[in-house]
Structure 1
Amino acid sequence: MSDRYLVLHYPDGRLEAELPLDRAPYEALVTAVLAWENPDLEPHDYEQIALQLAEHARAVADEVRRHAAALPRSDGRGALAEIVLREADRRLSLPPKGTAHCAQNRARLVRALYSRLDRLTGTPS
């Protein structure tokens, strides 16, 4: 076993732009979080889940932005994407709270962003 490692640092984020989104685990997390009825987690657990969902929402939003920017200005899908992206930016600017409500709101945001991405790419949901 080697004790050597390589640290990758891409300050402009290009590496992430070239990697596909790891969608399946986040869709499973969204489904689980939205299925909560009376969860009994510690506040820091809710906050961690909200942070994970927020970071993934940012990655999906970036993908939505890239696809929307490639559309002709006359394509209405771009305008709808801009509305969803403005709302995503607003919601992601709020700090996460250690509540189930906050985690579920972040899960709904991820779901909405994937829905918009699917409409932009023609991927069946």
Structure 2
Amino acid sequence: MSNTRVVLYDLQGLMEAELPLSRTPYEALVTAVLAWKNPDLAPRDYEQIALQLTGHARAVAADVRRHAASLPKSDGRGALAEVILREAEGRLSAPLKGTASCVQNRARLVQALYTRLDRLTEPAPAAT
């Protein structure tokens, strides 16, 4: 057995682009979290759910970034995606808290990123 390691750099995110997002389970999680009224979970349970949503938000943001980068500069959808991505970066950099509010904020972020992704993947509106 060798003591060497190989570090792989994927600066263009090509490996990630090949992996489809598992959207359905996360949409179900987002729906459930946003429906909470008075949940009574332990702080570590909230943290675990927030970690799941954070990881998925990062993956969706990377997908949004790739799609936005492929658009022509004249397509305003790319500029809107940049706004959402900047907001996502700020929200994802905030420390996680073991609270329902924190988890619901991450769920809303995932929802917003999917909305933007859907808009980027639909055909461009016809010019008038």
Please indicate, yes or no, whether the TM-score normalized by the shorter chain is above 0.5.
yes
Cα RMSD of the aligned pairs, angstroms, is 1.5
1:95 corresponding residue in structure 2 = 95
How far the C-alpha of 1:95 sits from its partner, in A, is 1.3
Tell me the matched-pair count: 115
2:82 corresponding residue in structure 1 = 82
Check if 1:50 corresponds to 2:62.
no
2:73 corresponding residue in structure 1 = 73
| Counterpart Cα distance in 2 of 1:30 and 1:64 | 18
The DSSP-based 3-state class of the residue aligned with 1:41 is coil
Over 3 Å counting, the alpha-carbon distance change for 1:15 and 1:29 in structure 2 is: same
| Counterpart Cα distance in 1 of 2:76 and 2:24 | 28
TM-score, scaled to structure 1 = 0.87
Over 3 Å counting, the alpha-carbon distance change for 1:25 and 1:73 in structure 2 is: same
Report the more deviating stretch, 54-63 or 114-123: 114-123
* Greater Rg over alpha carbons, structure: 2
2:3 corresponding residue in structure 1 = none
| Counterpart Cα distance in 2 of 1:116 and 1:31 | 17
Unaligned 5+ residue runs, structure 1? 1-8
Amino acid at match of 2:65: R
Unaligned 5+ residue runs, structure 2? 1-6, 124-128
Check if 1:107 corresponds to 2:126.
no
The DSSP-based 3-state class of the residue aligned with 2:71 is coil
How far the C-alpha of 1:10 sits from its partner, in A, is 5.2
- The C-alpha deviation readout for 1:16-61, integer Å capped at 9, x for no partner, is 2211100000000000000000000000000110010000000000
Runs of 4 or more consecutive aligned structure 1 residues displaced over 6 Å after TM superposition: none
